[in-house]
C-alpha cells in the first residue's frame, strides 16, 4: 500500500508524486463536500489512487478538446461520488470546471451538480446517479466503438471505455443485463474498475449480498482480476493486462472507503455525509497535506495539467488521419447528428404511396414499412428489439444483425433485457454516430422506464418502438394490455409520445422523432389492423402539430371528437352516427399531445372547437384526457385492467364503441 509522502518545500519544478496527485483529489472532494454540507466523500477518497493511475497514465483524452470523437470514454457509474469527477476535471484543466465550480458544489447556478450530468460538465460522458445506468451506458459506448470501427477502420476509431462502478451498481439488476451483453459481444475495450470497498449505506455489504462478483463476471465471459486499489503499480499492471484481453475486463480494486480519514475510514459514515472539520483536519495530518482548503500546490497542479494535455499530440495525429480518410464527410455528418440530405424525399414518397393505396395495416406493420424506407435512406439508424423482433417488426432488409464476430450490422438482438436495451441505446446515442431505435411491448416500458427517463434527461435522440399498445392486443390479457402506461409516458418531461392512427401518421411520427434531436420519442403501435384514413397527400407533417382536424363537421360544429391511434377510426364511425341524428361533429386526431401543447393558443382553440361538446376516446386509461375535454366533456376509455378475449369482444365489453361515443356526445348537447 502506498504511504503518504513527507512534507517538503517543493519548488515549481519539483516532481509531484502519485500520492500527492491522489491526495489532491481527496482534499478537493473533502473540502467541497464540507463547504456544501452535503455529498459523498468516501468513494472519491477511496478511489483517488485508481483514478489518478487511469487519468495520468492510460486515459486518452485532451482537456482542451473534451468531445474529441476518438477519445476514451470514462463513466463514473457510481455517480454519488461526483466530486471525484469534478476534482479530476478541475485538476486536468477542463475549462468549464474552474475552482469556483469546485467551491460551489451542489449550489444553484453551478455546473457541479450532486450527481454528474451530461451537458453540464464536459468531462461527464453520461448522466449517472441511478445506480447501474452508467455501467450499462458504458456497454453502449463500447458497442458503438466496435460498430464504428467496423465502418471506418481503426485509423479513426480506436478507443476504450472505462468505468468506475461501486457495490450498488453491481447489486442493481440491470448490471447483470449489462455484463451478459458485453460478455456475449466480446467488448474487449470495456474495462470496469470496481470500487471493492465492502461498504453500502446500511453498513458492510455482507448485510445484503454474498455474491462472488469475480465468478459472476467470469461466468459472463469477462476477464477478471483483483488488486490492491491503493497500490498504484498493481492498478497500472491490471489495466495494462486488461487492455490486452480479448474480453471485457473487471478489475476489482480493493479499497478503503474514506481512505485517510483518521476515525471514519472504512466505515459507512464516510459514504453520504460530510466528514466534519475535525475529521478533515485529522486527515490532513495523517496524509501530510498541510494546505488550506481548495489550495493545490503548483507542482501538483502542473503534473495534473500535463496529464490533461497529454492527449493533444495524439489528437492532432488522429485529425490528420481523419482528414485523409475517404469517408471523412460521412463520419463527421453522423457524429454531428445531421441527417442525410435526401431523407425527406423518402418521407414524401412513402406518404404518397400509402395515401394512394390505402392499406389496412396494424400500425406496428406501418412502422415496419416506414423503417424499411428510412433505414435504407439513413444508414446511421440502428435497430433492435428485446427478443420481440417479429412481434415489434423492427428488423429491415437494411439492418443485418450485429453478431460477436461481425459488428458491421445494424440490428441488435438485445435478448429479454428491456431495461438493458434502453440503457445501451442511451450509450449508442451518447457516443455519437448512431440513431438507435429499439422495440418491445408497450407494457414493458415499465421495465425500461429508468433508462427512458435518462434519455429524456440527457436530451438524447432515442426512439422507442412500443407495440401492442392497448386492449386491442386481445387474448394475451391484462398482464400485457397497457392501461396506465401511455399516461405515465405523457407525464414524463421531454418525451414525445406518438400514437399514430394509420401509415401516413406513422411516417410523420418517425419524421418528427428524427427531427427531435433533444429528446426521446415513443411510438405506441397497434397489433390490430386499422384503415388508412389519410388518403389525400400533403407534404405538410400534420402529426408534427400534435393534433389536427382530420374530418371537419358538415356545417357548424356542435361536437368535437378527440382520439388517438386505433380509436381514430372509431371516432370517424361515431361522426357518421351523429350525422344520422343531425348532429355536426368533427374528428380530431391527436397523435402527440406534447407537440400539440407547443402550438399557438389560437391553433389549439380552433382544433379543439371552443364552445362545442368534446368527447375523447382511447382504449387506455382515461387519466389526462380531462385537460382536453374540459369539465363538461366525456372520456370513453378504461378505468380498470383489461381481460383476455379477442379485441372486438373487449371493445364491446368495456364500452369502447362508436355508439358509446355518439351517445356520450348526445347526452351532453
Phi, psi dihedrals of residue 654, rounded to the nearest 5°: -90, 5
DSSP, res 657: S
Helices 82-92, 298-309: axis angle to 10 degrees equals 90
Name the strand (E) or helix (H) holding 74.
Answer: strand 73-76
Distances (CA, A) of 328 to 62, 124, 153, 238, 312: 21, 26, 12, 35, 20
Encode 394-404: b = buried (16+ Cβ within 10 Å), e = exposed: bbbebbeebee
CA distance 165 to 328: 35
Cell 393534433 found at: 547
CA distance 581 to 52: 78
CA distance 586 to 574: 10
Phi, psi dihedrals of residue 81, rounded to the nearest 5°: -85, 40
Contact 134, 165 (CB under 8 A): yes
CA distance 59 to 308: 10
Catalytic residue chosen out of the listed positions 188, 418, 505, 618: 418
Q: Which three cell numbers stand for residue 57?
A: 497514465
Contact 534, 395 (CB under 8 A): no
418 classed as catalytic = yes
Rounded to 5°, the CA angle 634-637-640 comes to 125
3-state secondary structure 509-527: HHHHHHHCCCCCEEEEECC
Active site members: 418
Amino acid at each position: 500500500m502506498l504511504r503518504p509522502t513527507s512534507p517538503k518545500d517543493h519548488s515549481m519544478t519539483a516532481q509531484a508524486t502519485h500520492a500527492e496527485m491522489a491526495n489532491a483529489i481527496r482534499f478537493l472532494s473533502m473540502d467541497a463536500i464540507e463547504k456544501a454540507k452535503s455529498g459523498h466523500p468516501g468513494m472519491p477518497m477511496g478511489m483517488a489512487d485508481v483514478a489518478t493511475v487511469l487519468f495520468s497514465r492510460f486515459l486518452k483524452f485532451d482537456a482542451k478538446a473534451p468531445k474529441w470523437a476518438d477519445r476514451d470514454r470514462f463513466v463514473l457509474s457510481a455517480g454519488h461520488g461526483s466530486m471525484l469527477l469534478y476534482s479530476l476535471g478541475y485538476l486536468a484543466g477542463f475549462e468549464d470546471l474552474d475552482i469556483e465550480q469546485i467551491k460551489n458544489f451542489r449550489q444553484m447556478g453551478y455546473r457541479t451538480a450532486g450527481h454528474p450530468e451530461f451537458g453540464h460538465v464536459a468531462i461527464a460522458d453520461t448522466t449517472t446517479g441511478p445506480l447501474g445506468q452508467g455501467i450499462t451506458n458504458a456497454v453502449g459506448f463500447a458497442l458503438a466503438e466496435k460498430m464504428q470501427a467496423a465502418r471506418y477502420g481503426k485509423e479513426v476509431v480506436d478507443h476504450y471505455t472505462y468505468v468506475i462502478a461501486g457495490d450498488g451498481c453491481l447489486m442493481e439488476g440491470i448490471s447483470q443485463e449489462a455484463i451478459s451483453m458485453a460478455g456475449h459481444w466480446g467488448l474487449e475495450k470495456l474495462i470496469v474498475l470496481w470500487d471493492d470497498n465492502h461498504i453500502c449505506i446500511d453498513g458492510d455489504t455482507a448485510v445484503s449480498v454474498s455474491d462472488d462478483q469475480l465468478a459472476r463476471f467470469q461466468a459472463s465471459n469477462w476477464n477478471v482480476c483483483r488488486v490492491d486499489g491503493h497500490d498504484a503499480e498493481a492498478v497500472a499492471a491490471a489495466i495494462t493486462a486488461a487492455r490486452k484481453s480479448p474480453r471485457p475486463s473487471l478489475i476489482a480494486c480493493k479499497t478503503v472507503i474514506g481512505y485517510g480519514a483518521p476515525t471514519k475510514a472504512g466505515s459507512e459514515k464516510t459514504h453520504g455525509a460530510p466528514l466534519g472539520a475535525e475529521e478533515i483536519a485529522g486527515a490532513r495530518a495523517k496524509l501530510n497535506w498541510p494546505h488550506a482548503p481548495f489550495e493545490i500546490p503548483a507542482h501538483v497542479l502542473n503534473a495534473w495539467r500535463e496529464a490533461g494535455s497529454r492527449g493533444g499530440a495524439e489528437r492532432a495525429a488522429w485529425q490528420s488521419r481523419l482528414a485523409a480518410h475517404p469517408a471523412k464527410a460521412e463520419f463527421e455528418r453522423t457524429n454531428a447528428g445531421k441527417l442525410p440530405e435526401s431523407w425527406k424525399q423518402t418521407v414524401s414518397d412513402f406518404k404518397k404511396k400509402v395515401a394512394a393505396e390505402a392499406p389496412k395495416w396494424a400500425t406496428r406493420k406501418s412502422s415496419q414499412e416506414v423503417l424499411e424506407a428510412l433505414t435504407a435512406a439513413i444508414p446511421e439508424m440502428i435497430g433492435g428489439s428485446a427478443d420481440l423482433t417479429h412481434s415489434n417488426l423492427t428488423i429491415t432488409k437494411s439492418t443485418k444483425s450485429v453478431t460477436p464476430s461481425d459488428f458491421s450490422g445494424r440490428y441488435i438482438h438485445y435478448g429479454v433485457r428491456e431495461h438493458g436495451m434502453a440503457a445501451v441505446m442511451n450509450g449508442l446515442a451518447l457516443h455519437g454516430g448512431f440513431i438507435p431505435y429499439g422495440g418491445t411491448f408497450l407494457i414493458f416500458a415499465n421495465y425500461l422506464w429508468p433508462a427512458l427517463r435518462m434519455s429524456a434527461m440527457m436530451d438524447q435522440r432515442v426512439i422507442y418502438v412500443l407495440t401492442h399498445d392497448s386492449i386491442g392486443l386481445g387474448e394475451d390479457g391484462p398482464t400485457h394490455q397497457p392501461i396506465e402506461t401511455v399516461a405515465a409516458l405523457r407525464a414524463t418531461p421531454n418525451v414525445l409520445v406518438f400514437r399514430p392512427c394509420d401509415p401516413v401518421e406513422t411516417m410523420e411520427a418517425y419524421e418528427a422523432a428524427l427531427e427531435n434531436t433533444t429528446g426521446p420519442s415513443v411510438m405506441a403501435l397497434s397489433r390490430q389492423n386499422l384503415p388508412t384514413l389519410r388518403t389525400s397527400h400533403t407534404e405538410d407533417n400534420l402529426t408534427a402539430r400534435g393534433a389536427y382536424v382530420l374530418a371537419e363537421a358538415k356545417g357548424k360544429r356542435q361536437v368535437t371528437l378527440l382520439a388517438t391511434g386505433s380509436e381514430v377510426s372509431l371516432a370517424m364511425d361515431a361522426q357518421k352516427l351523429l350525422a344520422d341524428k343531425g348532429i355536426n361533429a368533427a374528428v380530431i386526431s391527436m397523435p402527440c399531445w406534447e407537440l400539440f401543447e407547443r402550438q399557438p393558443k389560437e391553433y389549439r382553440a380552433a382544433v379543439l372547437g371552443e364552445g362545442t361538446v368534446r368527447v375523447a376516446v382511447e382504449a387506455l386509461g382515461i387519466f389526462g384526457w380531462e385537460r382536453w375535454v374540459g369539465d363538461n366533456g366525456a372520456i370513453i376509455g378504461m378505468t380498470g385492467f383489461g381481460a383476455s378475449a379477442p379485441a372486438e369482444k373487449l371493445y364491446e365489453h368495456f364500452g369502447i364503441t362508436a355508439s358509446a361515443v355518439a351517445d356520450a356526445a348526445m347526452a351532453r348537447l
